[in-house]
Amino acid sequence: MSSPAAGQLARLTGLTVREARVVGSQHGYQHLMVTLAGGLRAFAKLAADPAPGTPGTPGTPGTPGTPGTADPAPSGADDIAAAFAAEASGLRWLAEAKAVPVPEVLAAGRAALVLSMVRPGQATPEAAFGFGAGLARLHAAGAERFGAPWRGFIASLPLDNTSGPQWPEWYASRRLLPYLRRAVDSGTLGPQDARLVEAVIDRIGSLAGPAEPPSRIHGDCWAGNVLWSGGQGWLIDPAAHGGHRETDLAMLALFGVPYLDRITAGYNDAVPLAAGWRDRIPLHQLHPLLVHACMFGASYRDAVRSAARAVLAN
Among 37, 46, 32, CA closest to 117: 32
Distance of CA 274 to the CA centre of its chain: 23
pLDDT at 33: 95
pLDDT at 58: 31
Cα separation of 44 and 31, whole Å?
6
One domain, residues 187 and 85:
no
Q: Following DSSP, what letter does each residue of 106-119 receive, concatenated?
A: EEE-SSEEEEE---
One domain, residues 164 and 45:
no
Beta strands in the chain (DSSP E): 17-26, 29-36, 41-47, 105-108, 112-116, 152-154, 157-159, 215-217, 226-229, 232-235, 241-243
One domain, residues 196 and 286:
yes
Looking up residue 236, the CATH number of its domain turns out to be 3.90.1200.10
Average pLDDT, integer, range 150-158: 93
Cα separation of 270 and 96, whole Å?
19
Are 144 and 214 a contacting pair, CB within 8 Å? yes
One domain, residues 152 and 78:
no
One domain, residues 270 and 203:
yes
Average pLDDT, integer, range 234-250: 98
Give the residue from 90, 116, 142 where a domain finishes: 116
pLDDT at 121: 94
Among candidate residues 71, 193, 220, 237, the one labeled active-site is: 220
3-state helix, strand, coil in the chain (%, to 5): 45, 20, 35
One domain, residues 112 and 136:
no
Q: What is the pLDDT of residues 163-191, one digit of tens each?
A: 999 999 999 999 999 999 999 999 999 99
Q: How confident is the model at residue 48 (pLDDT cuts 50, 70, 90)?
A: low
| Amino acid letter for position 94 | L
Q: What is the pLDDT of residues 91-124, one digit of tens each?
A: 999 999 999 999 999 999 999 999 999 999 999 9
One domain, residues 182 and 302:
yes
Q: Is the dihedral of CA 94, 295, 251, 60 positive or negative?
A: negative
Percent of the chain with pLDDT over 90: 82
Q: What is the pLDDT of residues 255-266, one digit of tens each?
A: 999 999 999 999
Cα separation of 224 and 73, whole Å?
19
Cα separation of 305 and 197, whole Å?
8
Assigned domain for 170 exists: yes
One domain, residues 161 and 286:
yes
Q: How confident is the model at residue 54 (pLDDT cuts 50, 70, 90)?
A: very low
Q: How confident is the model at residue 77 (pLDDT cuts 50, 70, 90)?
A: confident
3-state secondary structure 171-210: HHHHHHHHHHHHHHHCCCCCHHHHHHHHHHHHCHHHHCCC
pLDDT greater at residue 203 or residue 156:
203
Give the residue from 62, 89, 116 where a domain finishes: 116
Q: Is 161 helix (H, G, I), strand (E, B) or coil?
A: coil
pLDDT at 61: 35
Cα separation of 4 and 1, whole Å?
10
Q: What is the pLDDT of residues 191-241, one digit of tens each?
A: 999 999 999 999 999 999 999 999 999 999 999 999 999 999 999 999 999
One domain, residues 210 and 244:
yes
* Mean pLDDT taken over the chain: 90
pLDDT greater at residue 305 or residue 12:
305
pLDDT at 3: 79
Assigned domain for 197 exists: yes
Give the residue from 92, 116, 140 where a domain finishes: 116
Cα separation of 238 and 21, whole Å?
24
One domain, residues 149 and 252:
yes
Distance of CA 248 to the CA centre of its chain: 9
Looking up residue 49, the CATH number of its domain turns out to be 3.30.200.20
Q: How confident is the model at residue 75 (pLDDT cuts 50, 70, 90)?
A: low
Among 241, 252, 250, CA closest to 218: 241
Domains of the chain: total: 2
The answer on pLDDT for 64 being more than 90 is: no
One domain, residues 137 and 259:
yes
Q: String of b and e for 29-53 (b: at least 16 CB within 10 Å)?
A: bbbbbbbbeeeeebbbbbbbebeee
279 is known as an active-site residue: no
Kind of pairing, strands 152-154 and 157-159? Answer: antiparallel
The answer on pLDDT for 59 being more than 60 is: no
The answer on pLDDT for 273 being more than 80 is: yes
pLDDT greater at residue 126 or residue 25:
126
pLDDT at 199: 98
Assigned domain for 84 exists: yes
Q: How confident is the model at residue 78 (pLDDT cuts 50, 70, 90)?
A: confident
pLDDT at 74: 64
Determine the structural domain holding residue 83 and report its residue range. Answer: 15-116
Percent of the chain with pLDDT over 70: 90
pLDDT at 73: 53
One domain, residues 68 and 158:
no
Assigned domain for 162 exists: yes
Assigned domain for 76 exists: yes
